[in-house]
């Protein structure tokens, strides 16, 4: 099967700002970023609380959280479908087969990943950091933010893992988005569609586009990451 | 389209978003290089937030807001054959332009499309499984079923044709021969219209499809054709998907022309009495157009590789 020709064509369409192709790419990026915007603050906050506080049931919660990492995205999609369907409890929201439904689904998918990584990051941070900040008169919230700032390399890595999971996710997007052309078609669902039509080469070309997009977003986000390790000197 | 976007943009309740909650900090006393880096970090975060938020007001999301009954959006649940063959892409833009509606197509198997209709998650369904359609209407889920078009099913299989059904006219007898030979048969297995037709044919053949040769794929027509080609097995396909895909398949048409293989497509509005939120006017407009002289003419004129895939069948109203 010839791969070079369709790939070249896909890249030519990218460069020529082919409207349907960019619509698909833009839907993918927009939905994934909005999902991260919803999920990341909550997940990082929850990870911080789990890492720094002690309460009954905490271990169980952590085990549950970590097993959620393996939760199949189609199950998230199915549960969300049942919730959002007209006949479901949230049917009145009229969200099934919309980008918003995909944002919700991807936020749910991203949450445990970011939360588990954030938990690990905060746990690995030097606890004296928080205490010192408190001693210097910072309120708990301010001291917490200081801690998060210090581990931001790991936190951005957490967000990037979440991004990687949702941008490449097909099960939930297909189910609650419906793969509607121009509205809820993302790169992975478009690949699934092309494959179902037997158009494998077009699917591969889209896959390459997805990798380029992921590379771009990762590069952009890693600028927020800083160099990492610049704290080492201070930890002494 | 523009009108719709503009109207939805006027929707109340959308707060302007200020990217002020970007992570920025006021810690003092670091080197200037540090400050510069912090600056670029904040800038980057603002950019990302702005990018994502900008998405909220882009047309794609704006029009998806809340499709009310009075909306200009029609939600059509249909089968993979109408979408994958390219028929809807040829028809719908004309209708959208003439009538000022936007049509959103969710293409799944007939069984799934009808279930979307049962749940009220679409305004109308375009499907092909007459018995299931009649049940859908009889149970009060749909109203105003109309014939739209028809084509036919084919039995396709490997050129080697181990069950020797090539040229046969009797579809049921051919299936019986395939089963008797224990030849590979790939079934949709997904309650689609094609799957229901296949089950009806097995029933009239008096054979229950089982055994090692029978693979129930649970996938769409395109995937099943690809599987049959890879496994060099037989399968039942609609003519539309076959014509669109045959150049990529190592299969050929072996049985066609049996009246039992007729494949009529019907269009049904989701019952507005049961689901008051549906866009009944929009559904009716689309049904009227598809069954109008112009819609029917355009269905007949749709060709893939010079071959007519769907034949108009609507009764004059």
* C-alpha distances in Å from residue A11, one per residue of A4, A192, A213: 11, 19, 12
Give percent above pLDDT 70 in chain B: 77
Query: Which positions ≥6 away from A61 have C-beta within 8 Å?
Result: A50
- Its domain, for residue B133, covers 73-151+264-312
> Could you tell me if B186 and B219 are in contact, meaning their C-beta atoms sit under 8 angstroms apart?
no
Query: Residues B187-198, buried b or exposed e (16+ Cβ, 10 A)?
Result: bbbbbbbbbbbb
d(C-alpha A167, C-alpha A214), whole Å: 8
What per-residue confidence (pLDDT) applies to A171? Answer: 93
Of B119, B121, B225, the CB nearest to A198: B225
> Looking at the domain assignment, is residue B88 inside a domain?
yes
**How far is the alpha carbon of A94 from chain B, nearest alpha carbon, in Å?**
6
**A234 Cβ under 8 Å from any chain B Cβ:** no
What per-residue confidence (pLDDT) applies to B2? Answer: 44
Of A33, A94, A178, the CB nearest to B52: A33
What per-residue confidence (pLDDT) applies to A141? Answer: 85
Give the model confidence (pLDDT) of B19-59 as tens digits. 333 343 434 344 445 555 555 555 555 555 555 555 443 43
What per-residue confidence (pLDDT) applies to A5? Answer: 76
> Could you tell me if A179 and A27 are in contact, meaning their C-beta atoms sit under 8 angstroms apart?
no
In sign, the C-alpha dihedral spanning B166, B169, B174, B177 is negative
What per-residue confidence (pLDDT) applies to A186? Answer: 94
> Looking at the domain assignment, is residue B22 inside a domain?
no
d(C-alpha A86, C-alpha B75), whole Å: 13
A149 contacts on B by Cβ (under 8 Å): 23, 25
Mean pLDDT score, B71-100: 92
For chain B, the distance separating the N- and C-terminal CA atoms, rounded to the nearest angstrom, is 30
> Looking at the domain assignment, is residue A219 inside a domain?
no
A94 contacts on B by Cβ (under 8 Å): 66-67, 277
* pLDDT average per 10 residues of sequence, chain A (236 residues): 72 79 91 96 95 92 93 94 90 90 96 96 87 87 88 91 93 91 90 82 84 87 65 42
- Its domain, for residue A136, covers 19-184
Contact between chains at B277 and A94 (C-beta distance less than 8 A): yes
Per the model's pLDDT, the better-predicted residue between A12 and B123 turns out to be: B123
Phi/psi of residue B141, nearest 5 degrees: -80, -30
Pairing of the two strands B303-304 and B307-308: antiparallel
**How far is the alpha carbon of A56 from chain B, nearest alpha carbon, in Å?**
32
> Could you tell me if B290 and B88 are in contact, meaning their C-beta atoms sit under 8 angstroms apart?
no
Identify the band that residue B191 occupies on the pLDDT scale cut at 50, 70 and 90: confident
What per-residue confidence (pLDDT) applies to A106? Answer: 97
Contact between chains at A94 and B67 (C-beta distance less than 8 A): yes
Of A146, A198, A226, the CB nearest to B226: A198
Q: Are residues B147 and B170 in the same domain?
A: no
Q: Looking at chain B from residue 17 to 76, which residues have their Cβ under 8 Å from any Cβ of chain A?
A: 23, 25, 27, 37, 40-41, 44-45, 47-49, 51-52, 55-56, 58, 60-61, 63-64, 66-67, 75
pLDDT exceeds cutoff 70 at B213: yes
> Looking at the domain assignment, is residue B37 inside a domain?
no
Q: Are residues B160 and B298 in the same domain?
A: no
> Looking at the domain assignment, is residue B97 inside a domain?
yes
Per the model's pLDDT, the better-predicted residue between B20 and B77 turns out to be: B77
What per-residue confidence (pLDDT) applies to B287? Answer: 96
> Looking at the domain assignment, is residue A204 inside a domain?
no
| DSSP type of residue B315 | P
Q: What is the mean pLDDT of chain B?
A: 81
State the total domains in chain B: 2
**B4 Cβ under 8 Å from any chain A Cβ:** no
CB pairs under 8 A between A and B: 98
> Looking at the domain assignment, is residue B187 inside a domain?
yes
pLDDT exceeds cutoff 90 at B71: no
d(C-alpha B298, C-alpha A42), whole Å: 52
CATH of the domain at B226: 3.40.190.10
> Looking at the domain assignment, is residue A216 inside a domain?
no
**A219 Cβ under 8 Å from any chain B Cβ:** no
Q: Are residues B110 and B194 in the same domain?
A: no
CATH of the domain at A145: 1.10.3720.10
Residues listed for chain B: 317
Give the model confidence (pLDDT) of B220-253 as tens digits. 888 899 999 988 999 999 998 898 888 889 999 9
Query: Which positions ≥6 away from A18 have C-beta within 8 Å?
Result: none
Of A98, A146, A223, the CB nearest to B40: A223
Q: In sequence order, what DSSP letters do the residues of B247-287 get, joined into one string?
A: GG-S-EEEE---GGGEEEEEEEEE-TTT-TTS-HHHHHHHH
**A149 Cβ under 8 Å from any chain B Cβ:** yes
State the total domains in chain A: 1
For chain A, the distance separating the N- and C-terminal CA atoms, rounded to the nearest angstrom, is 57
Mean pLDDT score, B255-265: 92
B217 contacts on A by Cβ (under 8 Å): none
Per the model's pLDDT, the better-predicted residue between B62 and A173 turns out to be: A173
Q: In sequence order, what DSSP letters do the residues of B86-125 get, joined into one string?
A: THHHHHHHHHHHHH--EEEEEEE-HHHHHHHHHTT-SSEE
Q: Are residues B222 and B250 in the same domain?
A: yes
Residue B177, classified by CB atoms within 10 Å of its CB into exposed (0-12), middle (13-18) or buried (19+), is: buried
Per the model's pLDDT, the better-predicted residue between B28 and B271 turns out to be: B271
Phi/psi of residue A43, nearest 5 degrees: -70, -40
d(C-alpha B96, C-alpha B88), whole Å: 11
Pairing of the two strands B73-79 and B185-187: unpaired
Contact between chains at A197 and B119 (C-beta distance less than 8 A): no
Mean pLDDT score, B132-159: 95
pLDDT exceeds cutoff 80 at B5: no
Per the model's pLDDT, the better-predicted residue between A88 and B10 turns out to be: A88
Closest CA to B151 of B76, B78, B82: B82
pLDDT exceeds cutoff 70 at B70: no
**How far is the alpha carbon of A12 from chain B, nearest alpha carbon, in Å?**
23
Per the model's pLDDT, the better-predicted residue between A126 and B128 turns out to be: B128
**A126 Cβ under 8 Å from any chain B Cβ:** no
d(C-alpha B283, C-alpha B76), whole Å: 8
> Looking at the domain assignment, is residue A226 inside a domain?
no
Q: Are residues B132 and B165 in the same domain?
A: no
């Amino acid at each position: 099967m010839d791969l070079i020709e369709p790939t070249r064509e896909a890249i030519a369409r990218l460069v020529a700002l082919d409207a349907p192709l960019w619509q698909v790419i833009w839907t993918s990026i927009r939905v994934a970023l909005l999902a991260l915007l919803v999920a990341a603050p909550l997940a990082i906050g929850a990870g911080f609380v789990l890492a720094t506080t002690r309460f009954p049931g905490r271990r169980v919660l952590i085990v549950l959280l970590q097993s959620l990492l393996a939760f199949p995205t189609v199950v998230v999609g199915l549960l969300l479908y049942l919730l959002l369907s007209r006949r479901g409890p949230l049917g009145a929201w009229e969200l099934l087969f919309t980008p918003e439904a995909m944002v919700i689904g991807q936020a749910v998918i991203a949450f445990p990943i970011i939360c588990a990584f954030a938990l690990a990051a905060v746990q690995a941070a030097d606890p004296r950091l928080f205490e010192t900040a408190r001693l210097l008169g910072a309120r708990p919230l301010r001291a917490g933010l200081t801690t998060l700032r210090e581990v931001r390399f790991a936190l951005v890595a957490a967000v990037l893992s979440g991004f990687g999971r949702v941008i490449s996710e097909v099960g939930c997007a297909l189910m609650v988005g419906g793969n509607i052309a121009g509205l809820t078609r993302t790169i992975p669902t478009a690949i699934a569609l092309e494959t179902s039509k037997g158009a494998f080469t077009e699917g591969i070309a889209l896959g390459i586009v997805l990798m380029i997009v992921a590379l771009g977003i990762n590069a952009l986000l890693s600028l927020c990451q800083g160099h990492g390790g610049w704290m080492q000197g201070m930890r002494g | 389209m523009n009108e719709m976007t503009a109207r939805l943009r006027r929707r109340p309740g959308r707060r302007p978003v200020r990217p002020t909650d970007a992570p920025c900090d006021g810690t003092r006393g670091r080197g200037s290089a540090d400050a510069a880096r912090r600056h670029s970090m904040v800038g980057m975060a603002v950019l990302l937030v702005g990018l994502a938020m900008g998405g909220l007001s882009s047309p794609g999301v704006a029009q998806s807001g809340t499709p009310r009954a009075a909306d200009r959006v029609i939600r059509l649940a249909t089968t993979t054959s109408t979408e994958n063959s390219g028929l809807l892409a040829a028809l719908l833009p004309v209708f959208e332009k003439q009538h000022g509606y936007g049509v959103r197509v969710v293409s799944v198997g007939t069984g799934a499309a009808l279930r979307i209709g049962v749940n009220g998650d679409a305004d109308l369904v375009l499907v092909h499984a007459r018995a299931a359609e009649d049940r859908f209407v009889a149970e009060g889920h749909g109203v105003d079923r109309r014939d739209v078009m028809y084509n036919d099913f084919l039995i396709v299989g490997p050129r080697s044709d181990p069950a020797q059904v090539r040229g046969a006219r009797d579809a049921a007898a051919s299936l019986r021969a395939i089963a008797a030979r224990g030849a590979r048969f790939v079934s949709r297995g997904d309650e689609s219209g094609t799957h229901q037709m296949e089950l009806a044919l097995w029933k009239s053949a008096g054979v229950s499809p089982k055994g090692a040769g029978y693979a129930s794929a649970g996938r769409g027509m395109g995937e099943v054709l690809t599987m049959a080609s890879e496994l060099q097995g037989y399968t039942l396909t609609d003519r539309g998907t076959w014509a669109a895909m045959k150049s990529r398949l190592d299969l050929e048409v072996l049985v066609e022309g049996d009246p039992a293989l007729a494949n009529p497509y019907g269009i049904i509005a989701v019952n507005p009495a049961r689901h008051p939120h549906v866009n009944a006017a929009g559904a009716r407009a689309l049904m009227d157009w598809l069954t109008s002289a112009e819609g029917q003419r355009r269905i007949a004129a749709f060709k893939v590789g010079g071959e007519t895939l769907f034949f108009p069948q609507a009764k004059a109203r």
